[in-house]
A and B are shown apart, each in its own frame.
Chain A
């Protein structure tokens, strides 16, 4: 996975339980201290930071620059998380929480 796909994969995981009533910027707080995401997050938040993550994902899917990374992230997320058992899901969330400042 390239960096864009990795970021979207992590955003999908942190948005699983609440991707509607929060903003992308709030969800992105969970990934703030991952240095390699800093620039891409800035780009995303500039245009879409106030939007709920599910709306953001829907819009990214329609954008040429993000379509392919989102498809890659989505495929991986389905296998690793959405269709996985509870233990695996908790493990995914724990990993991300551990990196939260």
Chain B
């Protein structure tokens, strides 16, 4: 990948998300004295998941035009500092104690980048008193390597949230910028997580302003092919007017004022 892709513009050239993952890892991961370090911008606790300590990490391998992550997604070279897995765990633990919460997560990025860093961090979590670590992923790397999912399945405190972007190849490309032939990787991730007995649920951006109803139904039916129980536990997402979302929409040629002025009905 010659030029690092930051956000989508009209007429963009679709990219290989596995190559973008590697290019991003070259920026956000490095080998330090205590193992593989990764870039983070902050550690804090927030009210989502009924209170959770959060490490805000840097870097992703998709470029969704409605994404609400900070600019560290698009400019990983400009944001964050490197932390070892031990230091990340200490910071999460400190934030959890300070705010009186016991769940942990990494957010703001694709946490499956920097595999060794994540696996080392999960070892610290496993040995701790914290009962739950939420791993929010787009499923690209899990879907491309079943062994990665097998490794994750060894950790009892991990709950994975796989976020699906589309149920059709062309829609996958127009929303994420990735080449259409990669659209099924997140569904593969779902299959692997299911096969290896990992605690997980699926989320999808089924906001009717982004995903048409027939595609929403196709997505649910595709999940039913794995198991009705997986489809029934679907978390449906709505798009909110965050500053970064609106800027990315604008850059992509979608007028955010027009987009958000459309009234949303719950999924019909």
Contact = CB atoms under 8 A, between A and B. Distances in A.
Interface of A: 12, 16-17, 19-23, 26, 50-52, 54-55, 57-59, 61-62, 70-71, 73-75, 77-78, 82-83, 85-86, 89
A70 B48 contact: no
Contacts of B234: 82
Interface of B: 47-50, 102, 132, 134, 159, 161, 197, 199-201, 217, 220, 224, 227-229, 231-236, 265-268
Contacts of A86: 265-268
B141 to A, nearest CB: 20
Given A20-B49, A50-B50, A58-B199, A83 B217 contact: yes
Contact of A74 (B161, B199, B231, B268): B231
A58 B157 CA distance: 13
B235 A82 contact: no
Contact of B229 (A16, A20, A71, A83): A71
Nearest to B217: A83
Which secondary structure dominates chain B's binding surface? Answer: mixed
Contact of A62 (B48, B50, B199, B235): B199
Most buried by A among B220, B228, B229, B236: B229
Q: Chain A contact residues: over half helix, strand or loop, or mixed?
A: helix
A44 B231 CA distance: 22
Contacts of B220: 78, 82-83
Given A26-B50, A62-B197, 9 more contacts: A16-B236, A22-B50, A55-B201, A57-B229, A58-B201, A71-B227, A71-B228, A75-B232, A78-B232
Given A22-B50, A82-B234, A55 B199 contact: yes
B159 to A, nearest CB: 5
A85 B199 CA distance: 30
A85 B50 contact: no
A85 B132 contact: no
Contacts of B232: 12, 57, 73-75, 77-78, 82
Contacts of A23: 50
Nearest to B134: A55
B48 A21 contact: yes
B159 A58 contact: yes
B216 to A, nearest CB: 9
B159 A55 contact: yes
A62 B160 CA distance: 14
Given A57-B233, A74-B231, A78-B228, A21 B268 contact: no
13 contacts: A21-B47, A21-B48, A54-B201, A55-B134, A58-B159, A61-B227, A61-B233, A62-B197, A74-B228, A74-B233, A77-B232, A78-B228, A83-B220
B142 to A, nearest CB: 15
A57 B201 contact: yes
A53 B267 CA distance: 19
